[in-house]
């Protein structure tokens, strides 16, 4: 298949491309970071007026996966207008264009659409109540996308992995600090369902192959605190877990409001795919093996001449 990926320099985009480029033809959209990628890249700012038609006319894809976003929560609070343009208006235009052209479309949303007040796992039937600008613009994107294009897939995600800049994911935060013997905090009262980003990419492709549509939770099958996640990283890499101080997010000093419980059920996804979602330990082992095999350096080399 020919897969068009917006946001290909991002954490999801670059790993999706890396994961799928041997099986599929990848065409990424990038503003200029990638100079040495082993797949085709269209240079375009997605906020240009002609961007949507330009990328679809140039690539003529079989599938489009929208990984572009303003995904920094603090940046969204500082610039709500830009957050709306990228997180809501752009997905709406992409969804509409894909409907017109009959191209299966995946839009990436977030686990953060929920307020975290439920004392149990959230299902796709639960009512979202986004706490901040980022999550509000993402929830608006879900409605916009499915109104324009009811056949689209909306995937609520959360993932970790190796990134282009080496600092995008929570796993890199813990790994970087632990390898530099720097102490750090880990939140004990923020629960999430981490999954290796390569698994996210594999699941999204399976969803496209199966012709799924609508909202899905595409996260890991195991819920844990961010502190516990840091400890798991430390143990897997044989680094000193004592450097991670358990802490409440209440004392984090972060401006953007965050939900404490982002435990999402993956029952609908595993049922409709007819398979289990990869276990946390399996993903963590792959993350470790990637490190041992120079995967982070390989990805980073795509932005170097
Ligand atoms: N990371 C997570 O665990 C997580 C959790 C929940 C949801 N999500 C969602 O997953 C998706 C991917 O997230 P991510 O972590 O991969 O984000 P990311 O690393 O911040 O990547 C965002 C991508 O969007 C691109 N982009 C932003 N503005 C653009 C513009 N005007 N024109 C062209 N490209 C533009 C960025 O390009 P530049 O590199 O040029 O800026 C980058 O490639 C997003 O929808 C995000 O909301 C992620």
The DSSP line for 69-97 is ----HHHHHH-HHHHHIIIIIHHHHHHHH
Question: What are the residue ranges in the chain where pLDDT is below 50?
Answer: none
SS3 39: coil
∠ at Cα 181 (176, 183), nearest 5°?
85
Per-state percent for the chain, helix, strand, coil, to nearest 5: 45, 15, 40
Q: Cβ(47) to ligand 1 under 6 A?
A: yes
Report CA(60)–ligand 1 centroid distance (Å). Answer: 22
Q: Using an 8 Å Cβ cutoff, are 285 and 19 in contact? A: no
Q: Is the CB of 86 under 6 A from ligand 1?
A: yes
Looking at residue 261, its pLDDT comes to: 95
Residue closest by Cα to atom 17 of ligand 1: 10
- What pLDDT, on a 0 to 100 scale, did the predictor assign at position 250? 84
C-alpha torsion sign, points 237, 283, 20, 96: negative
Strand-pair partners of 6: 29, 66
Which of 69, 122, 173 for mutating ligand 1's site (highest number of atoms within 8 Å of CB)?
A: 69
Q: Ligand 1: distance of its center to the CA of 197 in Å?
A: 13
At residue 252, the pLDDT reads 78
Distance 108 CA to ligand 1 centre (A): 9
Question: 254: Cβ below 6 Å to ligand 1?
Answer: no
């Amino acid at each position: 298949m020919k897969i068009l990926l917006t946001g290909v320099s991002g954490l999801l985009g670059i790993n999706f491309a890396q994961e799928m480029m041997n099986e599929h033809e990848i065409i990424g959209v990038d503003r200029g970071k990638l100079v040495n990628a082993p797949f085709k890249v269209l240079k375009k700012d997605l906020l240009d007026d002609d961007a949507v038609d330009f990328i679809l006319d140039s690539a003529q894809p079989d599938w489009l996966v929208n990984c572009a976003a303003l995904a920094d929560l603090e940046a969204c609070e500082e610039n709500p207008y830009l957050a709306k343009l990228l997180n809501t208006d752009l997905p709406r235009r992409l969804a509409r264009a894909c409907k017109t052209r009959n191209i299966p479309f995946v839009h990436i949303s977030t686990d953060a659409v929920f307020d975290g007040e439920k004392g149990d796992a959230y299902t796709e039937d639960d009512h979202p109540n986004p706490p901040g600008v980022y999550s509000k613009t993402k929830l608006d994107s879900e409605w916009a996308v499915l109104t324009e294009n009811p056949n689209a897939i909306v995937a609520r995600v959360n993932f970790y992995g190796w990134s282009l800049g080496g600092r995008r994911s929570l796993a890199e935060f813990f790994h970087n600090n632990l390898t530099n013997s720097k102490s750090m905090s880990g939140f004990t009262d923020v629960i999430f369902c981490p999954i290796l980003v390569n698994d996210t990419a594999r699941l999204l492709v399976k969803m496209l192959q199966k012709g799924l549509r609508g909202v899905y939770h595409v996260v890991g099958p195991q819920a844990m605190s961010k502190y516990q996640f840091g400890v798991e990283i430390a143990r897997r890499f044989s680094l000193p877990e004592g450097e991670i101080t358990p802490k409440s997010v209440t004392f984090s000093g972060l401006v953007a409001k965050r939900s404490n419980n982002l435990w999402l059920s993956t029952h609908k996804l595993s049922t409709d795919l007819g398979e289990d979602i990869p276990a946390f330990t399996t993903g963590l082992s792959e993350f470790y093996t990637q490190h041992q095999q120079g995967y982070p350096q390989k990805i980073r080399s795509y932005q170097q001449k």
